[in-house]
Amino acid sequence: MGSTTTSRLQRRAHGCGGDGGGAEPPVDIDVSVDVKDLGSGRTGPRSAASLPWGLGGELTVDRRTAALADAEDPLGHLRAAFSLPEEVIYLDGNSLGALQPAVAERLRSVIDGEWGRGLIRSWNDAGWVELPRRVATRLAPLLGASTSELAVTDSTSANLFKALAAARQLRPDRRVLLTDDANFPTDVYVAHGLAELTGDLEVRVVPTYEVADHLDEQVAAMTLTHVDYRTGRRHDAASLTAAAHDVGALAVWDLSHSVGALDVALDAWGADLAVGCTYKYCNGGPGSPGFLYVASRWHDRATSPVRGWFGHARPFAFDLGYQPAEGAERFLDGSPPILSMAALETALEVFEGVDVAALEARAAELTGLFIQLVDERIGPEVEIVTPRAPTERGAHVSIRHEEADALTQALITRGVIGDHRPPDLVRFGFAPLYTTRVEVVDAVEQLADLLASGAWDHDDFRRQRTVT
């Protein structure tokens, strides 16, 4: 018998009985495992967290080995920063990130102390006026950018309008905004809105696999979402950016489904402009501020179409003449939303000292594990539409089922929270800061049971909901 590694975990058992007696006490679980049983091809001690989970190895996965790997994971301690209901397996961080108790405490402090007692003095005394720059400083390492290249402000949609308007201004002799048919709808709406406003732009929507073929000298800007919100497919941002530059076009990226989960490298990619949200993998909270990136080479030329006072070089001089601030801060506009900005600043603290490449590796492992288990335990009853190559996907996996909405709602009643995208996709997000391997195993077991039993096939699960 090979060497054995032992770890003891506590999990809370969740009974399904109808006596309403509440949760059972913690159960001590022995997750001892012989490394020869893990398909490692060797004996002797080996970290379970270092094994090829979901990445093409022959590892046999069960709940026990998953628990051992979780216990040894070098990023496992990050989970403790989050407040997640014990009865829930939360696989929807790709839509809304989880709450950190530190964020709730920060909001209480801002509301009761800085606003309640400090009142307007807190613009100076609590540093409210510097919040956009402080948050940009925390966000910059997650984007492979510098603080001066970021403006934390507004929503993704508003920032994209500003970015595309700036791109048009930088390429005044070109008339095409190129995007793909996998882009998030708001991005396409914004492009059309700018085209209608200017009256001299064409929005060209092409098949997602043919973007490079449609780049030509008419294109002012290529605007794409890095990770497809439906399928999780990831564009090769560096290659497409280079292809755009080869014809003199600018590259504008939406990173909403990337930042905080993938190793984004805007400067290294050569990106010109980028936008994104912070309420998904950055966990800033519902409606938290978006961001806008402007490459430093454009700082002397790019201007914002929305010239607000916080984008002025000296906002409190109250000059009627507009003088843009340095760097990307000229893309700020009105007064910053202090409550959501403060929440985001605290939410980003969890990333301090964390290698974003390690986060991407963990996301690849978790998504790969989910794909592997669905293949093994469910098979052809559902179709995995997410790419199987780790470098070609983001941090969520989508499966196709003809009754995807009902299946999603049935999973939610069992405590597995994903979401539905019409017409037939169920999405599962694997936030690398807090999703565990055990949760992946348990979620697939619930999915397999629902499909095998047909328990999802109920009218209650087909009731239309406003938000999917």
Bigger pLDDT: 466 vs 387: 387
pLDDT of 30 above 80? no
Work out the average pLDDT over 130-136.
99
DSSP strand pairing (4-5 vs 33-34): antiparallel
Preceding peptide of 423 cis, ω within 30°: yes
Query: What's the total number of domains in the chain?
Result: 2
- Among the candidates 309, 324, 351, a domain finishes at 351
Contact 221, 177 (CB under 8 A): yes
Tell whether 335 and 443 lie within a shared domain: no
Confidence of residue 31 (pLDDT cuts 50, 70, 90): very low
What six digits make up the tokens of 379?
């098979």
Domain shared by 41 and 73, yes or no = yes
The domain containing residue 453 runs over which residues?
A: 4-81+354-462
Q: How far apart are CA 466 and CA 205, in angstroms?
A: 28
Whole-number average pLDDT of the chain: 90
pLDDT for 173 beyond 70: yes
Share of the chain above pLDDT 90, in %: 84
Q: Of these residues, 162, 280, 330, 393, which one is catalytic?
A: 280
Question: In whole angstroms, how large is the CA radius of gyration of the chain?
Answer: 24
468 domain residue, yes or no: no
Residue 467 forms part of a structural domain: no
Same domain, 384 and 307: no
Q: Can you give the pLDDT at residue 146?
A: 99
**pLDDT reading at 288 higher than 80:** yes
**pLDDT bucket at 42, cuts 50 / 70 / 90:** very low
Residues 88-92, mean pLDDT to the nearest whole number: 99
Active site residue 36: no
Q: Of 289, 324, 351, which marks where a domain is finished?
A: 351
Is residue 418 located within the same domain as residue 316? no
Mean pLDDT score, 444-458 = 94
Contact 194, 201 (CB under 8 A): yes
Exactly one of 254, 405, 424, 442 is catalytic; name it: 254
CA angle (84, 230, 289) in 5-degree steps: 55
Cα dihedral 66, 72, 75, 76, rounded to 10, equals 60
53: confidence class by pLDDT, cuts 50, 70, 90 = low
Which of 406 and 2 is assigned the larger pLDDT?
406
Give the per-residue pLDDT at 241: 99
Residue with tokens 């990445």: 55
pLDDT at residue number 54: 54
Q: Is 184 a catalytic residue?
A: yes
- Report the b/e string of 237-276 with b at 16+ CB within 10 A: beebbebbeeeebbbbbbbbbbbbbbbbbbeebbbbbbbb
Considering the domain architecture, whether residues 377 and 405 belong to the same structural domain is answered as yes
Q: Judge whether 94 lies within some domain.
A: no
Residue 21: which CATH number?
3.90.1150.10
The pLDDT-based confidence of 457 (bands split at 50, 70, 90) is: confident
The model's pLDDT over 56-72, given as tens digits with 9 standing for 90+, comes to: 455 568 999 999 999 99
281 noted as active-site residue: no
Q: Catalytic: 331? A: no
Catalytic residue among 82, 279, 370, 461: 279
Stretch 213-222: mean pLDDT: 99
pLDDT > 70: percent of the chain: 87
Residue 439 included in any domain: yes
Q: Above 70 in pLDDT, residue 266?
A: yes
* Mean predicted confidence (pLDDT) in 196-201: 97
279 is an active site residue:
yes
Contact indicator for 266, 286 with CB cutoff of 8 Å: no
On whether residue 23 sits in a domain, the answer given is yes
Among 90, 184, 291, 370, the one annotated catalytic:
184
pLDDT of residue 59: 58
Query: Could you read off the pLDDT of 325-334 as tens digits, one per residue?
Result: 999 999 999 9
- Does the pLDDT value for residue 26 go beyond 60? no
Quick one: 231 and 176 in the same domain? yes
Place 460 in a pLDDT band, splitting at 50, 70 and 90: confident
Are 424 and 69 in contact by the 8 Å Cβ rule? The answer is: no
What is the DSSP code string of 109-167? Answer: HIIIIIITTTGGGHHHHT-GGGHHHHHHHHHHHHHT--GGGEEE-S-HHHHHHHHHHHH
Look at residue 8 and tell me whether its pLDDT is greater than 90: no
Average pLDDT over every residue of 84-106: 98
- Of 55, 159, 87, the closest CA to residue 367 belongs to 55
Query: Looking at residue 149, which CATH number applies to its domain?
Result: 3.40.640.10
